[in-house]
Copies of this chain bind each other. A is one copy, B any other.
Amino acid sequence: MSTSATEPVAAIEPPQTVEGWYVLHEAFHLDWPRWRALSTDQRHTAIDGLLGWLRRDAGSGAGDSAGDSAAYAVVGQKADLLFLHYRPTIAHLHQAQTARQRLAIAAYCRDAGSFVSVTEASLYEAGAHARAALQRQGLSPSDPGYADALERETATARRGLEQRLRQPIPVRSHLCWYPMSKRRGEQHNWYAMTLDQRRHLMRGHGQLGQLFRDQVTQVVSGAIGLDDWEWAVDLHADDPLTFKKLVTAMRYDGASAHYAEFGPFWIGLRQDDEGLRRLLS
């Protein structure tokens, strides 16, 4: 009999999370020989269609046009082009995908990988942060009205996070994105630890991230129940060496060393309209 069979089923508490926009990464190989066989006019028309699609789908206004889109050239053979989409709903992501399939350039593209997720912030530290804020305002837990103030503070913080999770795609010249999961090994199992244990590990992990905040903008999106890995991590930076430095530092960090499983790493060079025209002409 397995030793685990007699373990009590601990009441494990998942972290609270806040979600924002849904995210679609979609990568493509371009069939260069067939693409180059087109006339210059045909190629220009197809590029115009692609740029129009990126712009039309990249409005950052309210409602249906909310969200953002960006294009990247991919280094190495994983893909030629990578599109990153932020949208208010999964149905909007599907609209962007359907519109892309109707572009003239779609006939020259071959699927190279995709990932569906939703921007996410975990609230491991939310309680601590709210209490610290009240302390800065001179409030003490023994004050009358402390509980109400704590609740207001927490709600304000959550609204701030929700806002932060609906920002346009950071504009940096390089992108590093990769999917990851937390390990559920027979000995090291993230999902069998208590909330306190996980909070402790996430705190160290977060402090490490802070060291790189000037060089790298990090966007985490959750994918449990949505795709095959549990999270997507997007790092945006102007110097790609910081990807190596940051991911290396993280790998020696307790939360990652024992508990992270990494998927493929994709490196992209952000392309504005002019860049896409040059790349595709």
Q: Which residues of A contact B (CB under 8 A)?
A: 1-7, 9-10, 12-14, 17, 19, 24, 26, 29, 32-33, 36, 73, 75-78, 80, 89-91, 93-94, 97-98, 101-102, 106-107, 111-116, 118, 174, 176, 184-189, 191-194, 197, 200-201, 204, 222-228, 235, 240-241, 243-249, 251-254, 256-258, 264-265, 267, 269, 279
Contacts and interface: CB of A to CB of B under 8 A. Distances in A.
A12 B257 contact: yes
**6 tightest Cβ-Cβ pairs between the two chains A and B:** A225-B247, A9-B254, A77-B114, A33-B107, A225-B243, A191-B257
B265 A251 contact: no
Contacts of A6: 197
A32 B246 contact: no
Given A186-B187, A225-B244, A225-B265, 9 more contacts: A1-B194, A3-B187, A10-B254, A26-B76, A75-B93, A75-B94, A90-B269, A176-B225, A189-B258
Given A101-B32, A194-B5, A78 B174 contact: no
A9 B75 contact: no
A24 B241 contact: no
B267 A226 contact: yes
Contact of A24 (B12, B76, B114): B76
B76 A9 contact: no
A224 B200 contact: no
Say what secondary structure dominates the interface of chain A: mixed
B106 A90 contact: no
Contacts of A26: 76-77
A184 B258 CA distance: 7
A121 B122 CA distance: 35
A260 B238 CA distance: 32
Contacts of A14: 248-249, 251-252
Nearest to A91: B269
Nearest to A7: B1
5 contacts: A3-B187, A9-B201, A33-B106, A187-B187, A226-B243
A227 B1 CA distance: 27
Nearest to A112: B77
Contacts of A112: 77
A226 to B, nearest CB: 6
A188 B227 CA distance: 25
B191 A252 contact: yes
Contact of A90 (B9, B17, B174, B185): B174
Contacts of A3: 187
